[in-house]
């Protein structure tokens, strides 16, 4: 195809001929550009435009060209004349295209529109370059002077397209686009490049009328985005309504997910990115919001049947609409709470005899199950995590077991921890112990009465350390570190001091053994003893409630240690905790015994058995008078000895009592060589539990009062209600204080003159 060739450039003084020359050149560019243009023709048009704008002599002519003899402002008026001529040409050209559009519909119209748009915009770029002289001088001057409706030549082309052709055909073009999109939504394959081209043309037509150098998306948003969103909403409203009526909710969710993914892909493929958010919102409204009640009603069914994948799908959908997940969170919290209560109820037939491990495992099983659900189905969403925490806090602190006492959960958790950390009581492998302790802390996090756990845990830790029953120092240290991380330094301060005392005691015993030969001894000791010095303020241990007169062998040894200790630590007082002492005695009296039996006993039991070194028979009254033990303590100490038949009682009875005589059983037999007779000393008795709970209540009163004093010292004056509220906020990390208890503590502080009553229900601080 030969390139476009133009006739010679006319005389520059002949403006009529010059315009006709330009008209012919512009028409050829507009309609025959695909044939190409040679350089000579290009320069001819460029020269003609330059001549037209710079001619000072005006020839007579028609067609709007000024007649001879008229006075003008030279190039300025001729530039305006050329600009207006170009507008007239473009208007006529576009009107002819509008007429041609009427002969096309649907996809044919799209094809025609796109072809002509491409031809027109390419031609506009050529013409823009040819009119550079006009752009640089007349157009620039007019725009600088603030003239309205004056544009560079390329922009003028776009403006005229919008004013003439677009205004008349955009509705039909958009209808054709929507038909094409609907075909694709119905599963047909379409030529989506056509839609992309239409979108690009609508975007290109977004010119700012007040500033032609700027572009906007107004045309695209009003003429493309708005009808597209409307059609999308209508399509999915109709489709979803029909689909729901014929399919299950789960199948509908799958369908909705597919449709949403398709629309996202549509944006990436051929739509403008600006439509992404409003299109997504329109789809969410039609596919999700309008069916949200139906989806939420199905959620409980999915929960009851552990349909994790379907719950994840529902979460994915409802998370896209405002407040879509709130009802789900509420139902989830309620469901988890009921599941936890049910799990506890299954194991809580007898709260007093309930095994701590069984109880804690029931709590953990529920938490672990639903924590995994939150992680996998609900993407660890903070609000679902909060709902899980709220539910767990409820069933951990208020369940069937806790009816017998609000302290039951922390008490059982502390006892289970004791089982894990106590030598011989742990069925968990050492490699799994750390993970199990982490699970313990999971339950601990939900316990409201953390002070109760602290009290029981510290007592049990004290027993493990004193009796040397800890399975692992590393595990003990790890547990204390976890508690410290959860509750702070103050919570674990005394626990750390216990370990410090144990280390000091080890060094002390080493020094004592090295100094024993140098002490004044009446006779060599028959005992191998180890002593532990426990700081009074750090160990939750009470002195024995009974008098005790140790045997001569025991007394001599502890007196030697007392002299040694006081020689190194003047002014310190030692209080002997006989009830925690234990030891071993060897039975050399048993006849026909190949290897002597070794009895593991408490110190009370040791004192009783040593009496039989002097004679084989002792009366109850003799034992009681010599040891000075109370009847209750003596009975408990002898119960295991009698049960094992180390001693024989006459007359026979169920327990040691006045009037009975005890004889050493020289025919004693047992399958074991080492026999533990101190079985009652490891477990905390019921009386000790009562004392622990009493101590908890007393400590709480002190804690409440100290918190109030701190608050009032800082604030000086406070309303009564404000003081109560602030006290609760400060203490709730340790336990949930009851308002009546707080009010009692206020009265105590008033009596102690820490506080005073002021006017208008106000309290003041007394320094």
Q: How confident is the model over 177-200, as pLDDT tens digits?
A: 999 999 999 988 888 888 899 988
* pLDDT, mean of residues 434-461: 91
pLDDT given at position 682: 42
| pLDDT surpasses 90 at 289 | yes
Characterize 188-199 residue by residue with b for buried, 16 or more Cβ atoms within 10 angstroms of its Cβ, and e for exposed.
eebeeebbebbb
Q: Residue 78 — pLDDT band, cuts 50, 70, 90? A: confident
Any bridge partners for residue 675, and if so which? 599
Distance CA 437, CA 423 (A): 15
Task: Provide the 8-state DSSP code for 661.
Answer: E
Q: If you average pLDDT over residues 662-681, what whole number do you get?
A: 84
State the pLDDT at residue 668. 86
Residue count (the chain)? 767
Residue 429 to residues 262, 357, 422, 517, Cα–Cα distance (Å): 52, 15, 13, 44
Distance CA(523)–CA(520), nearest Å, equals 9
Residue among 33, 27, 75 at smallest CA distance from 54: 75
Distance (Å, whole) CA 270 – CA 256: 21
CB neighbours of residue 486 within 10 Å:
14
CA distances from 138 to 52, 81, 133, 152, 155 (A): 12, 11, 8, 10, 15
Strand order in the sheet with 617-619: 617-619, 661-664, 647-650
Give the containing element (helix H, strand E) for 297: helix 292-304
Give yes or no for residue 406 having a pLDDT over 90. no
Position with higher pLDDT, 470 vs 291: 291
Tell me the per-residue pLDDT of 550-577, one tens digit each, with 9 for 90 and over: 888 888 888 888 888 888 888 788 888 8
- Per-residue pLDDT at 425 exceeds 80: no
Query: 756 - beta bridge partners?
Result: 764
pTM of the model: 0.76
The stretch 244-253 carries a mean pLDDT of: 94
DSSP string, 83-114: HHHHHHHHHHHHHHHHHHHTT--HHHHHHHHH
Is the confidence at residue 503, as pLDDT, over 70? yes
757 confidence band (pLDDT: 50, 70, 90)? confident
Segment holding 232, helix H or strand E: helix 226-246
Residue 376's pLDDT is 94
Distances (CA, A) of 75 to 44, 134, 146, 259, 403: 19, 10, 19, 61, 102
Tokens coding 98: 């509008």
Both structure tokens of 615: 């004679």
What is the reported pLDDT for 766? 84
Categorize the per-residue pLDDT at 89 as very low, low, confident or very high, splitting at 50, 70 and 90. Answer: confident
Residue among 357, 354, 376 nearest 421 (CA) = 357
**Half-sphere exposure in the Cβ direction for 433 (13 Å, CA):** 24
Query: Where residue 684 falls among pLDDT bands split at 50, 70, 90?
Result: very low
Say if residues 313 and 332 touch (Cβ distance below 8 Å): no
* Element holding 506 (H helix, E strand): helix 489-515
Compute the half-sphere exposure of residue 185: CA atoms within 13 Å on the CB side of its CA.
Answer: 22
Residue 172 · residue 101 · CB < 8 Å: yes
DSSP state of 225: I
Long-range contacts of 597-601 (CB under 8 A, 24+ apart): 597/668, 597/670, 597/673, 597/674, 597/675, 598/673, 598/674, 598/675, 599/646, 599/675, 599/677, 600/674, 600/675, 600/676, 600/677, 600/678, 601/677, 601/678
pLDDT at 683 over 90: no
Max Cα separation, the chain? 158
Round to whole Å and give the CA distance between 155 and 87: 12
Q: What is the mean pLDDT of residues 452-462?
A: 90
Pairing relation of β-strands 597-602 and 674-676? parallel
Q: Which two tokens stand for residue 466?
A: 């004193």
Check pLDDT > 80 for residue 303.
yes
- Tell me: pLDDT of 140 over 70: yes
d(C-alpha 139, C-alpha 145), whole Å: 10
Burial profile 703-718: b = 16 or more Cβ within 10 angstroms, e = fewer: bbbebbeebbeeeeeb
Model confidence pLDDT, tens digit, residues 352-392: 678 889 999 999 999 999 999 999 999 999 999 999 999 99
Q: What angle do CA 540, 543, 549 make, to 5 degrees?
A: 155
Task: Write down the pLDDT at residue 593.
Answer: 61
- Fold topology of 687-765: Arc Repressor Mutant, subunit A (1.10.10)
Q: What is the mean pLDDT of the chain?
A: 84
- Could you tell me what percent of the chain has a pLDDT over 90? 27
Domain boundaries, the chain: 15-216, 223-304, 308-449+476-487, 581-684, 687-765
What confidence score (pLDDT) does residue 388 get? Answer: 96
Q: How crowded is the C-beta side of 180, counted as CA atoms within 13 Å?
A: 23
- Residue 63 CA to residue 205 CA, distance in Å, equals 31
* CA distances for 629 relative to 412, 428, 607, 608, 636, angstroms: 32, 40, 10, 10, 11
The whole-number pLDDT of residue 71 equals 38
Predicted confidence at residue 66, as pLDDT, reads 44
Assigned token pair, 28:
């050829």
Question: Which range has the top average pLDDT, 95-104, 418-427, 584-593?
Answer: 95-104
Structure tokens given for 298: 């199905």
Q: What are phi and psi of 351, to 5 degrees?
A: -60, -35
């205004």: which residue's tokens? Answer: 167
Q: Do domains 581-684 and 687-765 have the same CATH topology?
A: no
Three-class secondary structure of residue 765 per DSSP: strand
Residue 669 corresponds to which tokens in the numbers above? 């037999």
Burial of 479 (0-12, 13-18, 19+ CB in 10 A): buried
What's the CATH class of domain 15-216? mainly alpha
**Is the model's pLDDT at 670 over the cut of 50?**
yes
- Are the C-beta atoms of residues 727 and 737 closer than 8 Å to each other? yes
Backbone angles phi, psi at 530, to 5 degrees: -130, 135
> Which sign, positive or negative, has the C-alpha torsion 274, 277, 281, 283?
positive
Can you tell me the distance from the alpha carbon of 56 to that of 48, in angstroms, rounded to the nearest whole number? Answer: 14
User: What is the Cα–Cα distance from 340 to 393, expressed in whole angstroms?
Assistant: 10
Homologous superfamily assigned to 308-449+476-487: Cullin Repeats (1.20.1310.10)
**Residue-wise pLDDT tens digits, 726-739:** 888 888 877 788 88
For residue 751 the two structure tokens come to 């009596």
- For the beta carbon of residue 699, count every other beta carbon within 10 angstroms: 16
Q: Beta-carbon neighbour count of residue 521 at 10 Å?
A: 11
CA-wise closest residue to 638 among 581, 583, 578, 680? 680
Nearest CA among 577, 650, 578 for reference residue 608 = 578
CATH architecture for the domain at 223-304: Up-down Bundle (1.20)
Asked if pLDDT for residue 73 goes beyond 60, the answer is no
Q: Which two tokens stand for residue 288?
A: 């999700």
For the domain covering 581-684, report its CATH number. 3.30.230.130
**Distance between CA atoms of residues 458 and 482, nearest Å:** 14
351 or 145, higher pLDDT: 145
Ramachandran sector of residue 349 (left: φ over 0; alpha: ψ -120 to 50; beta: rest): alpha
Q: Is 32 exposed, middle or buried (0-12, 13-18, 19+ CB in 10 A)?
A: middle
* pLDDT score at 34: 66
What is the C-alpha to C-alpha distance for residues 557 and 722, in angstroms, rounded to an integer?
A: 60
pLDDT top residue among 89 and 80: 89
Distance CA 56, CA 191 (A): 55
């Amino acid at each position: 195809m030969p390139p476009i060739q133009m006739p010679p450039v006319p005389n520059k003084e002949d403006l009529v001929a010059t315009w006709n020359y330009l008209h012919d050149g512009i028409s050829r560019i507009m309609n025959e550009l695909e044939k190409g243009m040679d350089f000579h023709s290009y320069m001819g048009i460029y020269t003609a435009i330059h001549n037209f704008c710079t001619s000072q002599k005006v020839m007579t002519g028609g067609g709007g060209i000024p007649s001879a003899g008229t006075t003008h402002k030279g190039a300025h008026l001729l530039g305006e004349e050329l600009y207006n001529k170009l507008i007239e040409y473009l208007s006529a050209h576009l009107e002819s295209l509008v007429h041609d559009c009427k002969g096309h519909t649907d996809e044919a119209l799209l094809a025609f529109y796109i072809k002509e748009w491409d031809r027109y915009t390419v031609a506009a770029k050529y013409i823009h370059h040819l009119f550079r002289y006009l752009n640089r001088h007349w157009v620039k001057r007019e725009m600088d002077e603030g003239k309205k409706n004056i544009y560079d030549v390329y922009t003028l082309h776009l403006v005229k397209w919008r004013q003439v052709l677009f205004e008349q055909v955009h509705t039909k073009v958009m209808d054709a686009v929507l038909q094409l999109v609907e075909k694709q939504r119905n599963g047909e394959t379409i030529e989506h490049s056509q839609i992309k081209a239409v979108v690009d043309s609508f975007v290109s037509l977004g010119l700012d009328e007040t500033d032609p150098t700027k572009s906007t998306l107004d045309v695209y948003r009003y003429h493309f985005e708005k009808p597209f969103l409307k059609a999308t909403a209508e399509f999915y409203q109709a489709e979803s309504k029909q689909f729901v009526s014929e399919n299950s909710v789960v199948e509908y969710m799958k369908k909705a997910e597919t449709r949403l993914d398709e629309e996202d892909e549509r944006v990436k493929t051929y739509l403008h990115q600006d439509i992404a958010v409003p299109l997504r919102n329109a789809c969410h409204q039609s596919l999700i919001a309008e069916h949200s009640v139906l989806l939420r009603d199905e959620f409980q069914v999915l929960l009851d049947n552990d349909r994790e994948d379907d719950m994840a799908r529902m979460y994915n959908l409802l998370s896209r609409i405002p407040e879509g997940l709130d009802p789900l969170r509420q139902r989830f919290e309620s469901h988890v709470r009921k599941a936890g209560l049910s799990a506890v109820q299954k194991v809580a037939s007898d709260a007093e005899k309930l095994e701590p491990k069984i109880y804690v495992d029931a709590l953990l099983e529920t938490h672990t199950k639903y924590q995994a659900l939150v992680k996998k189905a609900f993407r660890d969403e903070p609000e679902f995590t909060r709902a899980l925490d709220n539910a767990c806090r409820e069933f951990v602190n208020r369940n069937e077991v806790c009816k017998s006492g609000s302290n039951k959960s922390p008490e059982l958790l502390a006892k289970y921890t004791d089982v894990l950390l106590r030598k011989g009581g742990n069925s968990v492998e050492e490699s799994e112990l750390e993970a199990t302790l982490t699970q313990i802390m999971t339950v601990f996090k939900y316990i409201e009465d953390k002070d109760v756990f602290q009290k029981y845990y510290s007592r049990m830790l004290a027993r493990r350390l004193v009796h040397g029953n800890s399975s692992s120092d590393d595990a003990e240290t790890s547990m204390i570190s976890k508690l410290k991380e959860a509750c702070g330094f103050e919570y674990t301060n005394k626990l750390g001091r216990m370990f410090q005392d144990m280390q000091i005691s080890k060094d002390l015993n080493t020094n004592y053994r090295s100094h024993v030969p140098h002490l004044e001894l009446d006779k060599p000791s028959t005992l191998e003893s180890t002593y532990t010095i426990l700081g009074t303020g750090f160990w939750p241990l009470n002195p024995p409630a009974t008098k005790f007169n140790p045997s001569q062998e025991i007394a001599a040894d502890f007196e030697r240690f007392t002299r040694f200790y006081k020689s190194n630590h003047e002014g310190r007082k030692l209080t002997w905790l006989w009830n925690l002492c234990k030891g071993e005695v060897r039975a050399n009296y048993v006849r026909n015994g190949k290897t002597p039996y070794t009895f593991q006993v408490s110190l009370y039991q040791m004192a009783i058995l040593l009496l039989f070194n002097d004679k084989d028979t002792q009366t109850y009254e003799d034992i009681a008078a010599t040891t000075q033990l109370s009847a209750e303590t003596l009975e408990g100490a002898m119960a295991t000895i009698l049960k094992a038949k180390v001693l024989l009682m006459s007359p026979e009875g169920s327990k040691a009592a006045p009037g009975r005589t005890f004889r050493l059983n020289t025919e004693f037999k047992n399958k074991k060589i080492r026999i533990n007779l101190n079985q009652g000393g490891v477990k905390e008795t019921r009386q000790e539990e009562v004392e622990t709970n009493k101590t908890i209540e007393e400590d709480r009163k002190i804690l409440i009062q100290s918190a109030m004093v701190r608050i009032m010292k800082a604030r000086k004056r406070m309303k009564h209600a404000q003081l109560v509220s602030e006290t609760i906020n400060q203490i709730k990390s340790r336990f949930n204080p009851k308002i009546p208890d707080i009010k009692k503590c206020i009265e105590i502080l008033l009596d102690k003159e820490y506080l005073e009553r002021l006017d208008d229900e106000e309290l003041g601080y007394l320094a």
